[in-house]
């Protein structure tokens, strides 16, 4: 099948791709593109029979639904002629539950458009087990009676599942009750505040049902989906990866952002499948890749190595292998910047999406910037309060009561009225926590206590780096303050807060989280707010833009070929960074949202920073104990 690529970074043939794949630059561009296609399908049926949409849930389709809502509101796109069938639902699950897909769809789409409620079909998480087979058969019959699905929207799970068709699902499968894979349940644990709360079963459309749709769009965003995207698009059809069955559908398109497309052959190693137009960046990637393939240092690569791996044109361009090797070796070496090569005496804002991303992702360079006498401000964009366990709140309540009731040293005891106030707060909190259901939104008092816990830990963390309370600013952006894992979209109020900070501080340099793989999308949304604020403040060119340094680290690191700056750390500096991470006690030992990586953050950091330095060592560059990576945007 032919493929379309809409992104500046992709070069090379699509010959290995078995599903038509469209690569778009950003998550928002992808959402607009897919929503526009859906709008075209809806409008094409205007005045005729109903158009039948198959719909998906999850974080990726939300952007599509928001764009459909905008098209309805601003451009008159009507849903009166739409019949919808959702892919799946957890079981058992009440429609009113905060976790139900029924509630998700009404909150994120149906309540905002003019669809007839009678035309909405979602598998019912309350179907009794003894009626399950009959209910699933009836759901299939309803799809047939509606004329079949015209456009099916899909996401893809980390196991390659579509809907809840887990590994082992067959091509002839239909709507049914299915046991959820352990990886799927772990991936959903963030929404349920713990894997133990995730249902073990779900109702899902089958592979055969999905493949009968006239057109299919499957979406993927983020670095963490790049591996499964390549497996689905380029791999053999395999029951272990349900998405591979889409290769047999004549009208399927995979829509991915650049991060999710990174492992596709045409983007990762385009020289394998086609002639390429060499650039400095592509040469760097190719030679580094070749060194890894050969398990050699860059300066030891030979002409035969290049010839055997489709890279002879690169040697021809520079004359000799030694010339190519030297250029790439020097380019990588130029990225390494110790303290003496880092900025001094600048005004710097470090934007931290959560109250620990600063020390987790850039603790090494943060300390060096402090030592270089830069004027530092760490701006914590969200409270991170949903990531605090209830037992931490109980512990702090007990401490507060003891302190309030017993006093400290020779200090006078507080009044009976004040003691009653503290006791009343503790009673309110304990009463709520005792009856709280898994995933229930905390009452304001509990949300505030959790916020204060994270703020105090953040201050303690930057004190290890040589900063104080006065260097911390807690922005508490409104989009995060839902009390739920799922957040509101970034709005004008969020952008205004960041804009005001930029105008106040007038930074010469800002650090921004550039990793988009955190489980609930907060990093991406925070970057969206910063990008909008930067454009508002500096867009007309009247004020010089600050340098923007993008960091990663909590979920993955920049590859050495993409990084602009590689910041080395000694053993003592890495130890100091880990000590700062330890100050975040509410995130220590176990975390509410660990993602697929069960290691603690300090363990991830230690291994990732050491791995970056070890990679440079294997490539033949100087050996360092550990290293952080940054991209200057």
Give tens-digit pLDDT for 199-224: 999 999 999 999 999 999 999 998 88
Decide if pLDDT at 166 tops 60.
yes
pLDDT for 8 beyond 70: no
In sequence order, what are the residues at sequence separation of 6 or more whose Cβ sits closer than 8 angstroms to the Cβ of residue 512?
351, 527, 530, 548, 549, 550, 551, 633
Give me the pLDDT at residue 7, please.
37
The pair phi, psi for residue 130, each rounded to 5°, is: -70, -20
Whether omega for the bond prior to residue 92 falls within 30 degrees of 0, making it cis, is yes
Tokens (6 digits) for 554: 């909590």
What's the DSSP call for residue 85?
E
Residues in contact with 163: Cβ distance below 8 Å, sequence separation at least 6, in sequence order: 56, 87, 88, 154, 204, 205, 206, 210, 242
Tokens of 169: 């699902």
Element (H, E) at 538: helix 522-538
Q: Has residue 1 got a pLDDT over 50?
A: no
Mean pLDDT over residues 579-597, rounded?
77
Task: For residues 86-104, give the mean pLDDT.
Answer: 94
Supply the pLDDT for residue 488: 82
Mean pLDDT for the chain overall: 91
- Residue partners of 537: CB distance under 8 A and separation at least 6: 499, 502, 503, 543
pLDDT tens column, 291-331: 999 999 999 999 999 999 999 999 999 999 999 999 999 99
- Per-residue pLDDT, averaged over 448-464, amounts to 97
Name the residue with tokens 């970074």: 9
Q: How far apart are CA 137 and CA 209, in angstroms?
A: 11
Percent of all residues in the chain with a pLDDT value above 70, rounded to a whole number: 92
Q: How confident is the model at residue 368 (pLDDT cuts 50, 70, 90)?
A: very high
Q: Which of 17, 67, 89, 166 is catalytic?
A: 166
pLDDT reported for residue 195: 79
Choosing among 3.40.50.10320, 3.40.50.300, 3.30.300.30, 3.90.226.10, the CATH entry for 339-388+442-632 is: 3.40.50.10320
Annotation says 67 is catalytic: no
CA R_g for the chain: 27
The closest alpha carbon to 121, from 137, 105, 107, 99, belongs to 105
Banded pLDDT at 11 (limits 50, 70, 90): very low
Considering only residues 421 and 172, tell me which one the structure prediction assigns the higher pLDDT: 172
Is there a common fold for 4-265 and 339-388+442-632?
yes
- pLDDT at residue 485, rounded to an integer: 62
**pLDDT greater at residue 14 or residue 291:** 291
pLDDT category of residue 191 using cuts at 50, 70 and 90: confident
Look at domain 4-265 and name its CATH class. alpha beta
- Ranges 24-28, 246-250, 566-570, 574-578: which has the least confidence: 24-28
What are 605's strand-pairing partners?
none
pLDDT band at 83 (very low <50, low <70, confident <90, very high): very high
Local confidence band at 410 (pLDDT 50, 70, 90 cut-offs): low
- Write down the domain spans for the chain: 4-265, 275-334, 339-388+442-632
pLDDT at 165 over 80: yes
pLDDT of residue 518: 60
pLDDT value at 184 more than 90: no
The pLDDT confidence band at residue 281, using thresholds 50, 70 and 90, is very high
């Amino acid at each position: 099948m032919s493929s379309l690529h809409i992104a500046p970074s992709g070069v090379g043939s699509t010959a290995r791709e078995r599903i038509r794949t469209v690569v778009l630059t950003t998550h928002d561009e992808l959402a607009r593109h897919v929503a526009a296609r859906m709008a075209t399908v809806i409008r094409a049926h205007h005045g005729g029979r109903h158009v039948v949409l198959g719909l998906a849930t999850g974080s990726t389709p939300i952007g599509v639904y928001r764009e459909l809502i905008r098209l309805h509101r601003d451009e008159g796109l009507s849903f009166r002629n739409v019949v919808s069938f959702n892919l799946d639902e957890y079981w058992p699950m009440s429609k009113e539950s905060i976790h139900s897909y029924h509630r998700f769809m009404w909150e994120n789409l149906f309540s905002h458009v003019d669809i007839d409620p009678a035309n909405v079909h979602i598998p019912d998480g309350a179907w009794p087990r003894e009626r399950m087979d009959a209910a699933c058969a009836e759901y299939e019959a309803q799809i047939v009676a509606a004329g079949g699905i015209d456009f099916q929207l899909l996401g893809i799970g980390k196991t390659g599942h579509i809907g809840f068709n887990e590994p082992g699902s067959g091509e002839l499968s239909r709507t049914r009750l299915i046991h959820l894979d352990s990886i799927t349940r772990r991936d959903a644990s963030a929404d349920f505040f713990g894997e133990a709360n995730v249902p073990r079963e779900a109702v899902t459309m089958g592979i055969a049902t999905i493949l009968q749709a006239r057109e299919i769009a499957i979406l993927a965003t983020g670095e963490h989906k790049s591996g499964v995207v390549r497996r689905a698009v380029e791999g053999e059809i395999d029951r272990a990866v349900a998405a591979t069955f889409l290769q047999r559908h004549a009208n399927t398109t995979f829509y991915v952002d650049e991060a999710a497309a990174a492992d596709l052959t045409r983007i990762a190693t385009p020289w394998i499948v086609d002639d390429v137009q060499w650039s400095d960046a592509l040469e760097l990637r190719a030679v580094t890749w070749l060194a890894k393939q050969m398990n050699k240092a860059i300066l030891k690569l030979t002409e035969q190595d290049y010839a055997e791996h489709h890279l002879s044109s690169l040697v021809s361009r520079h004359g000799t292998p030694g010339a190519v090797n030297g250029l790439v070796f020097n380019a990588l070496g130029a990225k390494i910047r110790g303290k003496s090569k880092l900025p001094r005496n600048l005004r710097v804002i470090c934007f931290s999406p959560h109250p620990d991303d600063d020390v987790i992702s850039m603790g090494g360079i943060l300390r060096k910037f402090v030592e270089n006498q830069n004027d530092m401000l760490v701006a914590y964009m969200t409270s991170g309060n949903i990531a605090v366990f209830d037992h931490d709140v109980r512990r702090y309540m007990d401490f507060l009561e003891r302190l309030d009731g017993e006093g400290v040293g020779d200090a006078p005891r507080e009044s009976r009225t004040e003691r009653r106030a503290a006791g009343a707060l503790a009673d309110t909190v304990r009463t709520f926590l005792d009856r709280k259901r898994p995933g229930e939104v905390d009452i304001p008092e509990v949300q505030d206590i959790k916020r204060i816990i994270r703020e105090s830990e953040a201050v303690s963390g930057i004190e290890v780096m040589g900063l104080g309370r006065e260097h911390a600013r807690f922005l508490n952006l409104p989009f995060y303050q839902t009390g739920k894992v799922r957040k509101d979209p970034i709005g004008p109020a969020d952008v205004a807060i960041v804009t005001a900070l930029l105008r106040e501080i007038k930074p010469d340099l800002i650090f921004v989280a550039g990793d988009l793989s955190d489980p609930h999308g907060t990093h991406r949304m925070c970057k969206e707010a910063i990008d909008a604020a930067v454009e508002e403040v500096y867009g007309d060119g009247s004020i010089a833009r600050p340098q923007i340094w993008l960091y990663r680290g909590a979920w993955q690191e920049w590859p050495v070929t993409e990084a602009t700056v590689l910041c080395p750390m000694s053993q003592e500096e890495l130890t100091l960074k880990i000590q700062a991470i330890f100050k975040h006690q509410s995130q220590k030992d176990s975390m509410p949202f660990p993602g697929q990586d069960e290691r603690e953050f300090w363990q991830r950091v230690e291994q990732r920073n050491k791995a970056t330095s070890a990679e440079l060592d294997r490539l033949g560059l100087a050996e360092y104990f550990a290293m952080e990576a940054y991209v200057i945007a």
